[in-house]
Amino acid sequence: MALELANFRRHWKVTFALAALGLGVLAILAPGPVPAVKQAGSITKGPAGMELIKHIVFIIKENRSFDHYFGRFPGAAGATNGMTSTGQRVPLSPAPDVTMNDVAHSWFAAKTGINGGKMNGWDLNDGGNVNGNLLAYTQMTQAQIPNYWKYAQYYALGDHMFSSIHADSFPNHLYTIAATSGGVHSIPVSPKTKNGQLGAGVGWGCDDDPDVTVKTINEEGEVSQEFPCFEFQTLADELNNAGVSWKYYAPSKGEPGYVFSTYNAIGHIRNGPDWTQNVVPDTQFAIDAANGNLPAVSWVVSGKTNEHPPNSTCYGENWTVNNMNALLNGPDGPSSAVFIVWDDFGGFYDHIVPPALDLYGLGPRVPFLILSPYVKPGHISHTRYEFSSVLKFIEELFGLPALSLRDANANDITDAFNFKQTPLAPLILQQRDCPIVSTANLSMGHQAVGTKSAATALMVSNFGSSPLAIHSITSTKEFPQTNACPPSLASGESCKVNVTFAPSGTGTRTGTLTVVDSDGSSPQVTQLTGEGSYLIVQPTSLNFGTIQPIGTSTSQTFTITNSGATAVTITSVTAINDFSAKNNCATPLAQNASCTVTITFTPTEQGPRYGWVTVHSTDPGGAIQLRLVGKLGTALSYSAKSLTFVAQTVNTTSAAQSITITNVGPAALNFGPIQATGPFRATTDCGVGVQPGSTCAIEVTYTPTAKGKQTGSLTLIDSDPASPQSLSLTGTGK
């Protein structure tokens, strides 16, 4: 009974934190008995015959959703169309092999896409809809990933594998080694670059630059920042304790993909003997597999072949085939089980609502392939899995204790196996020729007649083993291109072709880009489309770049100009989500006339807020959309963002000054430590939390230690996405 009560309290604490963060609780349980759960440290045993498996290979690839890869797979729970944020149902069109851009796939991008279970916000995220090019709503056909489909048809496919946390790569990779992210829910960021694309230094972990931090969130929803080097238990530690061999195959320091060498983030691994003995180059895997030298447990990640957009899917699939052929043809193949996952959804559409197990996940579905002589042939598993399920399988096989509640209670994947069957013969596949031009179709969106759009990049790549001669690159008149492609492109190299759109008339415009080269498939032709318009809209997007308290408003405007020969009627201007539009345009809008539209941002939830404004008119180019971004909605409103103390005698303490915090959000805010730095002290704090509409006064005193101006800061750790907040403190000693 005590355990059930503890679990009950824990569940509602997490639910409370989810609501406070505005993360969208997708499955809230009513009060009542809570099922008993297995605890971290518990040991479970797998089914009889499982001991036939001697080698586990866990391959972690990058950034694709299940519907993006297997939405068309017969018998699987897939989708071929999806709903956008504006209520439009669109087909999931064929995806480019090399994408034009990446799509946001962070903690809040997942929240935006999931949209409380509506699964219709993927086009709102950065890169999801670029000038009408709905990259987030694309998917691969069987012809584009034929070998992955062959693995699924011959071995097994899991169509309910969810990423462990609704976030991006770093925290999900931590789950693959520890069944937890240690609270990490983002990727490391450097103040030098102000982004986390490459982790700022040489990796994501203990050898990163000292000023790099990563955001963490505890079960109470309190957000803080830490250096990305942690000391929690991992599966490698348990394997070491049990005398079970393991290796982590990953790119080496300085190589693309080194950020995914996840044991770099575990201090006792990175700075101990395991780092040199067990963490080895990813190129070593095929060699070890072919020679029968695999350890009992292998993790495998890679660099440019990891399929992280914009990397080539075909190139990544060929890497997988090469490594699987080495294993399946090798001495260890008959006793192996291979689990291939993609680490997060990558910003791509998926239609199934992820279950809410706790504050962290689950995240959107990802592809999952299971290869083994003992897997049920052609099986599609509809069982719910997450990355901890693979760890659970390993723990059961080798009699290891569970690392966390996640792996203790995960489904163990054994339902996809039949250890009594005649072992399947190895499926050996052929690598294929990859597309030379990144996409066969490119939409350039709307553009005013007589103007030229910004460039969209296409890639010309040589995935072959010998140089590729490029004889010519041409495009039709309305789609001018520029490129820096050399006459000969070396093996493994790429060059960029920048395509622009300069319509000479209104309505749908079409054209082609043609690359003539020495490959047998030449010429390579990309179909180009765009919509010519009389309307010029400036700017093409609005970014409300300040942190905005919930319920308060700020406004910006954009201008519509009619460049056509006749008047155009603006029939409606509509905005969605936390944005509203005021149409100031005359009807009709005369030739060469301009008007303004006012957009007001009023956040209703915490975190980044996104929207679209759509201009409907009689213009032949059709409706025009502008992207709207609200940097951050916050539940915290301050009476002041700084405190200044009058001159104070050295070594004496001033009278207290206070900053009042108001919770303007819809849910209670949890507070952790409130700390002052320098010669300042926070004498009161906000206790365990502040209820909606309530206030908290933080008192600060100043005790100068020297004459002259002194500065410090007041730092708040709380459950608002803007946490940790830092307020400036200034005083003068006399």
Element (H, E) at 659: strand 657-663
Are 411 and 291 within 8 A, CB to CB? no
Domains of the chain listed by start with CATH number = 37-416 (3.40.720.10), 446-527 (2.60.40.10), 535-634 (2.60.40.10), 636-733 (2.60.40.10)
The rounded Cα 724 to chain-centroid distance in angstroms is 22
Are 530 and 543 within 8 A, CB to CB? no
Residue with tokens 């990563």: 214
3-state secondary structure of 471: strand
Are 633 and 604 within 8 A, CB to CB? yes
Comparing CA positions, the residue from 547, 731, 718, 549 lying closest to residue 643 is: 731
Q: What are phi and psi of 152, to 5 degrees?
A: -65, -40
What parts of the chain have a pLDDT lower than 70? 1-37, 192-202
Count CB-CB contacts under 10 A for residue 472. 10
pTM above 0.85, yes or no: yes
Task: Name residues whose C-beta falls within 8 Å of residue 537's C-beta, 6 or more positions apart in sequence.
Answer: 558, 559, 560, 561, 615, 624, 626
pLDDT for 400:
97
Are 636 and 669 within 8 A, CB to CB? yes
Q: What are phi and psi of 265, to 5 degrees?
A: -90, 0
3-state secondary structure of 464: coil
pLDDT for 31:
33
pLDDT for 36:
52
CA dihedral 580, 584, 588, 594 (to 10 degrees): -110
Are 607 and 494 within 8 A, CB to CB? no
pLDDT for 292:
97
pLDDT for 40:
76
Dihedral of CA 501/502/506/512: which sign? Answer: negative
- Strand pairing category for 279-281 and 297-300: unpaired
pLDDT for 131:
85
3-state secondary structure of 716: strand
CA atoms within 13 A on the CB side of 631: 9
Element (H, E) at 658: strand 657-663
3-state secondary structure of 729: strand
